[in-house]
Structure 1
Amino acid sequence: MLPASRTMLQASTSRRVVAAALSHIRSVSTGAKDHYKILVVGAGSAGLSVANQVYDRFKSEGKSLNKDDIAVVDAADYHYYQPGWTLVGAGLKPKTDFRRPLASLITPHVTLIPENVATFTPTASSVTTTEGRTLGYDTLVVATGLGINWDGIKGLSSALADPTSGVSSIYSYNTCDKVWDDIEGLRSGNAIFTQPAGVIKCAGAPQKIMWMAWDRFRKTGRGENVNVKFYTGMPTMFSVKKYSDALNKLRMERGIDGFFEHNLTAVDVANHKAIFKKADGSTVDVDYTTLHATPPMGPLKFIKDSPIADKVGWVSVDQGTLQHTNPEFANIFAIGDCSSLPTSKTAAAITAQAPVLTENLYSFINTGKVSDKARYDGYTSCPLLTAYGELMLAEFKYGLEPKETFSAFLDQSKSRRLFYHLKKDVFPTAYWNYMVKGKWFGTKGLMRPSYK
């Protein structure tokens, strides 16, 4: 063999050895397999709940899955209890209470693949990650959440990053504590709270923080000097008439001005102005001293651009079974904020959706079809903080029809201290100790629903 050829062969061999070593390292760090019985995309509230509930469902029938049969794909370093950010903005809890390393929440029977999905190929039952890895599946659960468009409001991102801007938002871990700083720092002027038109996470959250701020101003002697105003892109205070009427009555009793069908489009920090677009297309500039902004939200781009999305961009699923509407993609299910389910996008909704999806997924794996019994009725809940020590517990289902837990003996359109402590104390504890472990079933508590 010629020296040059031998050198080239040695170099080629060396590259193959290095490549094999790197491949092995990646395989060990991201899960040794490239095909899973159940692949869950997203390790948020929905993804972790389903991954653990599915494992328990098989175990309950004596059909235990292997340790590496279920994988969750998510490159996030941390997992967040997002409903807690309102409590942070209200000064009730430190934000560190609502963040934990994602790896610490992965149970022994679930494999974490610390990558993000880039594309879906449902015809081949596979996904491709941003690292270029192809993962095959027997069944797929999409639980990616939705996207927050911070740049959908001109000037908002830079305003949130400016500690002197007076602009804040409870819709991110990095900014929720700034809300409390701005509320505490305000002595007089206009306190503006906004909500966009369209779908957002927990549609009641933008006014929850408003009610808490109003109460804080009142209790600290600043109420007469601060004008609280609510600007919403929606036509009413809330989507369900029963609660909307109660909230609007409360707004008027408390002297809070309401401006409906007003969408925040820009923030002018230099002049402390918020620019709103009205239903007729005209704009109005509003002076603010402090501004709580809720950004517009929508489907994530990689979902919207995929073949599993509907025309809007949500994963297209049957509203009862949570199975994909395309019969060719029958091995795909979706849950939570990324799905096309026509209900409010809340953690409470996930607690009702997860056992239904779990049952239908279990049935599909075993019989090739979903259960005859397991159906989601659209249940969701919005615990509406209305003051310190007060909360209105809105619960409803498809059709915006109330479906209340305590209606037999309480009027849930009235704010109560009992409900307040559910939001402040019970729900966060149940979340960390039970829900992400697949042990919490919403209004049924620790008892998994039976679909016999």
Structure 2
Amino acid sequence: MFLDFFLPRSAHSGSAGLTVANQLYNRFKSAGKALNPGDIAILDAAEYHYFQPAWTLVGAGLKQKEDTRRKLDSLIPSHLAHIPENVKTFEPKTNSLTTASGRKIGYESLVVATGLQTNWSSIPGLEKALADPKSGVSSIYSYNTADKVWRDIDALRSGKAIFTQPAGVIKCAGAPQKIMWMAWDRFRRTGRGDMVSIDFYTGMPAIFSVKKYADALEELRIQRGVGIALKHNLVSVDPEAHKATFTTADGTVDVDYTLLHVSPPMGPLDVMKGQPIVDEGGWASVDKATLRHTNPEYGNVWAIGDCSSLPTSKTAAAVTSQAPVLTENLFSVVDTGKLSSATYDGYTSCPLLTGYGQLMLAEFKYGLEPKESFSSFLGDQAIPRAAYYYLKKDFFPWTYWNFMLKGNWFGASGFIRPTYGQ
């Protein structure tokens, strides 16, 4: 048996693929059908694996960016094969793919876990501004610039701080305002609160997609005196003039800034576009409940995480709930020829930092309905609390490196693999 995982270089570099690869190996072993070493192969030419959720903590001065990455090959156990190449084309009709070097590889089952890409160059002037240490422009969405966010926030004494969020799909849609709230609190704690104005410019129609948390965030915004401009999408940056240009329903508007934090637009990897396994948007087309490909002819193709067409927020937390479902279904198809009863309900989470020592823990599922894990014993998750803050700051990173990537963390089920009625 040969299972193949495609994890090309991306900002998140393989959280979903590493997790499900290890879960699959463990699942077959637990069923007394242990795979041979190398039966599961991971394709990825990346040198490093990054824990991107911690980049917000780097931008807030709470962690060093060097602590958010590890050598990818150090995270792949010896019973999994590592092929340090990226995929160029998929040929699902022949159960094969071709790598960037021209190597053709066959598979029995394929799990696509490419992640998505950050389109920095789609905003003219942004890359130049990010490379300039004195531009006042930064972003937590890059390992190379996450620490610049902290330097810019810490150095600002007065002026206008603008934080942006693009229209459309991005990784962790709450992150653009997490760093804004941390900056607000930093300014307040250091006596600069009255000297710096803060505004949130978002291409989206609301401050957050889930009404319960949106209402709480809106109340917080008003209380803290933070401005907001909805349906304003950043389209260019002029670092010399310190101007940001946004498109609106009525045209374009130029906004002056002293500090500009940019969350850039994102989308499927270029290599995915036009491939036979993707939908019109470039996302790997899978059933939203089973994570199996929607084309019956490609029944041995699966997808997980940011690259998939699953209609939920793209977060590491979503992967923790997707991986056990994909694992159980793929195992069942290989073992019995049929899907199991495992289904994914769209669960995802966005730990919304609202300041130092406080966090609003948004958890929800398909239909943008709250699905909270801790409210019954830690309190309403729409109320910022210290307990949720330390989950984000300390517990989640520890769990990620020590359990999730090794296939031993199952989201809401914690350390216990769901049985799905078995």
Smaller-chain TM-score bracket: over 0.9
- 2:171 aligns to what? 201
So what's the TM-score if we normalise by structure 2?
0.97
* Equivalent residue for 1:359, pick from 328, 340, 347: 328
SS in 1 for 2:376: coil
SS in 1 for 2:154: helix
Q: Deviation of residue 408 (structure 1)?
A: 2.4
SS in 2 for 1:276: strand
- 1:392 aligns to what? 360
- 2:303 is the counterpart of 1:338: no
SS in 1 for 2:332: helix
| Amino acid across the alignment from 1:342 | P
- 2:281 aligns to what? 312
- 2:213 aligns to what? 243
* Equivalent residue for 2:84, pick from 80, 104, 114: 114
Q: Deviation of residue 444 (structure 1)?
A: 1.5
Alpha-carbon distance between aligned partners in 2 of 1:150 and 1:323, rounded to the nearest angstrom:
31
Q: Which runs of 5+ in 2 are unaligned?
A: 8-12
Correspondence 1:197-276 to 2 at 5 A: 197-276=167-246
Encode CA deviations 1:177-211: one digit per residue, 9 max, x unaligned: 00000001100000100000100000000000000
| Amino acid across the alignment from 2:395 | V
- 1:324 aligns to what? 293
| Amino acid across the alignment from 2:184 | W
* Equivalent residue for 1:139, pick from 103, 109, 112: 109
SS in 2 for 1:85: helix
Equivalenced residues, count = 415
Q: Deviation of residue 215 (structure 1)?
A: 0.2
- 2:59 is the counterpart of 1:92: no
Q: Which runs of 5+ in 1 are unaligned?
A: 1-35
Alpha-carbon distance between aligned partners in 1 of 2:412 and 2:342, rounded to the nearest angstrom:
16
- 2:74 aligns to what? 104
Correspondence 1:146-157 to 2 at 5 A: 146-157=116-127
SS in 2 for 1:246: helix
RMSD between aligned alpha carbons?
Answer: 0.8
So what's the TM-score if we normalise by structure 1?
0.91
Encode CA deviations 1:145-167: one digit per residue, 9 max, x unaligned: 01111011111011101111110
Encode CA deviations 1:46-88: one digit per residue, 9 max, x unaligned: 0000110000000101110000100000000000000000000
- 2:253 aligns to what? 284
- 1:37 aligns to what? 2
| Amino acid across the alignment from 1:64 | A
Alpha-carbon distance between aligned partners in 2 of 1:255 and 1:150, rounded to the nearest angstrom:
30
- 1:125 aligns to what? 95
SS in 1 for 2:22: helix
| Amino acid across the alignment from 2:132 | D
Alpha-carbon distance between aligned partners in 2 of 1:122 and 1:196, rounded to the nearest angstrom:
34
Alpha-carbon distance between aligned partners in 2 of 1:378 and 1:360, rounded to the nearest angstrom:
16
* Equivalent residue for 2:370, pick from 402, 411, 420: 402
SS in 1 for 2:375: coil
Q: Deviation of residue 367 (structure 1)?
A: 1.8
In terms of mean alpha carbon deviation, does 380-389 or 399-408 score higher?
399-408
Q: Deviation of residue 425 (structure 1)?
A: 0.1
| Amino acid across the alignment from 1:376 | Y
Encode CA deviations 1:87-141: one digit per residue, 9 max, x unaligned: 0000000001110000100112100000000100000000100011011000000
Larger Rg: 1
